[in-house]
Amino acid sequence: MPHALVRASLSDARAVGEAVAGVDAIVHLAARAGIPDSVNDPLGTFEVNVAQTLRLLDAGRLAGVRRFVFASSNAAAGDHEPPADETDLPHPLSPYGASKLAGEAYCQAYAATFGVAACALRFSNAYGPFSLHKNSVVAAWLRAAIGGEPVTVHGDGDQTRDFVYTGDLAAAVCAALDAPEDVVAGELFQVGTGRETTINELAGAIGRAVGRPLDITHAPARAGDVRRNVSRVDKAAERLGYRAIVPLDDGLARTARWFESALADPAMAALRPHAASGSE
């Protein structure tokens, strides 16, 4: 029978057990996201991103769930000469990256030990509609730009990221759910665009999306941030048939239109956080 929407914390073992009973697959997107938060509270990040991930994996195992898709991050790989590759030796620079790396390891362990077709998708920097509550750099800068406020660039702005539209990420998740179990079990896939964008270039692109240049202030570089980050997505393309198809300017234009509509709605605008600098 179809499951109803269940609103509950992953710390609620009973709710988790009831939610996974009788399902075919689990897509685990919940996390304490963001490098600065993990630097400020590494133990809290561990509890949410590692302990709760393990409990969800085990709840799925006990319920007989065959497939588990874990949303990881390039922060797990850490500082490498780009592009990031699944074979890179992990070198996380932040507690957030370390927590995501641990989640990847548990997916591999549950595939090998218990036969769960668990895999990890290392998301690049996600952006898109329905992210008004987020403090990612695109969400924070769009809120600020639409509100006529300045945005903050940490460091010189020449650091790079791989910005991937949420619609493309959803396609990658569906591909991981649809692929044969032996293709995904215990596997890691980089999921991004394969295109490197500087933070300064992002500022220009967001300015185009909102129709006016951003008012930019500068601040020191932050602890835990990598200098360059872009994904090699060949493995996901070959095994899952995944390729990102939404260009950055198009995705930002769609996202900006959604943000403008959401911020005009008082009920939605009340959900936004206050930070305008963003977490890359």
Mean pLDDT by runs of 10 across the 280 residues of the chain is 79 96 96 90 97 98 98 91 91 95 98 98 96 93 95 94 97 98 98 96 97 95 85 96 97 98 84 58
What does the domain layout of the chain look like in residue ranges? 13-269
**Integer angstrom CA distances of residue 72 from 53, 100, 113, 158, 258:** 11, 5, 21, 25, 26
Answer positive or negative: Cα dihedral of 226, 230, 233, 234. negative
Task: Outline where DSSP puts E strands in 150-202.
Answer: 151-154, 160-161, 163-165, 188-191, 197-198
C-alpha 54/C-alpha 47 separation (Å) is 10
Q: Which of 96, 106, 110, 165 is catalytic?
A: 96
**Residue 279's pLDDT is what?**
55
pTM of the model: 0.91
Phi, psi of 212 (to 5 degrees): -160, 150
CB 118 within 8 A of CB 57: yes
Give the CATH fold of the 13-269 domain: Rossmann fold (3.40.50)
**137-146 and 248-263 helices, crossing angle to 10°:** 50
Is residue 110 annotated as part of the catalytic site, yes or no?
A: no
Answer positive or negative: Cα dihedral of 217, 222, 225, 226. positive
**Residue 1's pLDDT is what?**
45
**Residue 33's pLDDT is what?**
87
